[in-house]
Amino acid sequence: MKALDVRALSKNFGGLRAIHNVSLEIEEGERRAIIGPNGAGKTTLFHLISGFLSPSSGQISLFGRDVTNLHTHQRANLGMARTFQVTNLFPKLTLFENILLGVQAIEKARFCFYRPLGSFREMVHETERLLKEWNLWEKKDVLLKNLSYGEQRQIEVILALATKPRLLLLDEPTAGLSPAETVLVTSIIRNLPRDITIILIEHDMDVAFEIAEKVTVLHFGSVLADGPLEQIKGNPKVTEVYLG
């Protein structure tokens, strides 16, 4: 079964054609990179796939189900999660509290308003596991607003993983990270279990090529090239787009 099947997807903003006739087939367990110059339509495509925008035409299927007209939370309930270019966290809560809220989102306890979150032992243990895996446990009590931008970028990825997604959309996960943080995040993403399908937008070609097995190149809202990693590396049209 395909994790994601996008058919002839287009999005127009008035007279501006942002996405034109884009088709993608992403197999379960696949690692796919979406690359292209600034303004190519990469984030707009993510918005369409995740439901933040409605397409002008085309169809989107998630694990065999047509989700073209479903809301974002309905797609999330089917196993989709994503991160954003700009962090969107809870700055006045601690790191631990932020991750705990992410863990809670897929539990029945999200409807419980008469007990403190900290009393749910399994959720607390899962939060602890995630923070230790990402080497952030020692900062669990720090307010989000006092953490570095690079650390906040990592936390967005952790929050997405906390929902136990089947399809994970990562919008520039290493943007703003230090070289050491980039190595850590790239390694963790690369080693995620194969029951998580990953699609990432990434400007750092070293990161994209280290994680992805297949690459889709967007240019002016259309697919310029699509195929295995080595095929894309040797494609003269892709070289021309990036180097002029």
Please, what CATH class does the domain formed by 2-86+166-243 belong to? alpha beta
pTM of this prediction?
A: 0.87
**Domain ranges across the chain:** 2-86+166-243
Q: Could you tell me the pLDDT band of residue 149, with boundaries at 50, 70 and 90?
A: confident
| Whether the predicted pLDDT of 113 surpasses 80 | no
Q: For 43-54, what is each residue's pLDDT tens digit?
A: 999 999 999 999
- Helix (H, G, I), strand (E, B), or coil: what is residue 242? helix
| H helices present in the chain, as ranges | 42-50, 72-77, 95-104, 121-133, 149-162, 179-190, 205-211, 229-233, 236-243
130's tokens: 């995630």
Minimal CA–CA distance to 133: which of 83, 185, 95?
185
More confident position, 21 or 155: 21
Mean pLDDT (the chain) is: 89
The tokens describing 18, both together, are 């942002």
Query: Span 76-80, mean pLDDT?
Result: 92
What pLDDT was estimated at residue 118? 60
Residue, of 157 and 7, whose pLDDT is higher: 7
End-to-end Cα separation, the chain, in angstroms: 38
The distance of Cα 90 from the centroid of its chain, to the nearest Å, equals 19
Report strand pairing: 31-35 vs 197-201.
parallel
Average pLDDT over residues 189-195: 91
